[in-house]
Amino acid sequence: MTNVLCALVRWLDRNAERSLILVAYSSMALIIVYAVFERFVLKTQIPWSSSIPIYLFLWVTWIGCSQNVRKRTHLVFNDIRLNMSHTKQFACLMLDAVLWIVFGIVVLYFTIEQTMLVEMNFAIVQGTDNVMQWWFYLATPVAWSLLLIRVLQNTWDDFVRFKTKQPFVIDIQAIGQN
């Protein structure tokens, strides 16, 4: 049982963002394609076909941000860092981590509050009878929580590499890993 759980956790660690993005983006695309077909062929339109894809885009963008933090490709200046000493690279990576964590805590505080407010007001997605807006607003705190986990994973990796004097992995895509 423990091996299965460990395998599941490893799979989630490697694929959580990609899986969530795939589901959200595919759903978005299917809704839009069907809505266009229905509008031009059947001469009718689903009332929510323009609002649900916009809300799904929240999931795609925020989870994509988390994935890029995981890959170390989000908001980085690699050309400058690659020319720095090992210690200065580490200092920059630690500054990145502190800034991500502080900003993440601020984002989580306000978006959890906003999501709870929308949930308490029973806000419904435009054009639907029972699809709640908070389901989509939940994308921001979920993605930022995942992003902060990725920041902590990267920080731990950086700390180990600094202590063992190994070169830092500044851009995972640059070395061909996903």
> Is it the case that residue 174 has pLDDT exceeding 80?
no
For 4-24, what is the mean pLDDT? 90
Q: Which domain holds residue 116?
A: 2-171
Q: What is the pLDDT of residue 58?
A: 93
Nearest to 55 by CA among 31, 88, 79: 31
Alpha-carbon gap, residue 176 to 70, rounded angstroms: 14
pLDDT of 139 higher than 70: yes
Kindly state whether residue 163 falls inside one of the protein's structural domains.
yes
What pTM value is reported for the model? 0.85
Burial class (CB in 10 A: 0-12, 13-18, 19+), 4: exposed
Average pLDDT, the chain: 89
Distance CA(143)–CA(134), nearest Å, equals: 14
Within a domain: 23: yes
**Band (94; pLDDT cuts 50, 70, 90):** very high
Q: How many domains does the chain have?
A: 1
**Phi, psi (degrees; rounded to nearest 5) at 132:** -80, 140
| Position 91 in a domain | yes
The DSSP bridge partners found for residue 99 are none
Residue 178 lies in a domain: no
**In-domain check, residue 7:** yes
Within a domain: residue 177?
no
